[in-house]
Amino acid sequence: MVLVKPDRLDGCHIVNFPKVSDYRGNLSFIEESRQIPFAIKRVYYLYDVPSGANRGGHAHKELEQVVIALSGSFDVILDDGERRRTFFLNRPHYGLYIPSGIWRELENFSSNSVALSLVSQAYDELDYLRDYVEFKRWVTNNAGTEQRPRDYR
């Protein structure tokens, strides 16, 4: 029998936000209880990112996050300690859900891009894993204990 380890990256997925379009343009909205599987405690955004600059380069022990390309585009590279997957974000009516315990890097920002993050916790440096080796060790020690996304549809 071949045992296949569960792919923790399966917990990372694109969330579609409603889009209302008419001749005046588009309107999207986000409701915590519908599209976001956690209570939003903080919002932050990256902007004026210089060409070639990378952001992220860390994981969170508990924090959950949805990242949205409000303007422009960028890549989000996710890593569960074993596998990597790249998501290209380029539309403001969808976001990328990242559960806890996933390493993320944001790269290839287009000019004038804005990366909006909705997150489940206030800023707490103690929740960060900023060293990849430390992250791998944390994954080994915490395998299977990370939060599962709640059903929010």
Catalytic residues: 58
Residue 55 touching ligand TYD (CB under 6 A): yes
Helix (H) or strand (E) holding 46: strand 42-46
Q: What are phi and psi of 68, to 5 degrees?
A: -130, 135
45 binds ligand TYD (CB under 6 A): no
Q: Which is nearer to ligand TYD, 34 or 84 (CB)?
A: 84
Binding-residue pattern over the window 123 to 152 for ligand TYD, x denoting contact by CB under 6 A: x-----------------------------
Task: Please report the DSSP string for 80-122 in residue order.
Answer: -SS-EEEEEE--TTEEEEE-TT-EEEEE-PPTT-EEEEEESS-
Q: Between 20 and 39, whose beta carbon lies closer to ligand TYD?
A: 39
Residue 148 to residues 1, 8, 139, 152, Cα–Cα distance (Å): 27, 10, 15, 12
Binder to ligand TYD among 46, 59, 69, 78 (CB under 6 A)? Answer: 46
Rounded Cα distance between 125 and 119, Å, is 14
- Region near ligand TYD per CB under 6 A, out of 12-20, 38-46, 63-71, 72-80: 38-46
* 56 near ligand TYD, rule: CB under 6 A: yes
Distance CA 52, CA 54 (A): 7
Residue 22 CB, shortest distance to ligand TYD, in Å, is 35
Q: 4 in helix, strand or coil? A: coil
Residues that bind ligand TYD (CB under 6 A): 42, 44, 46, 55-56, 123
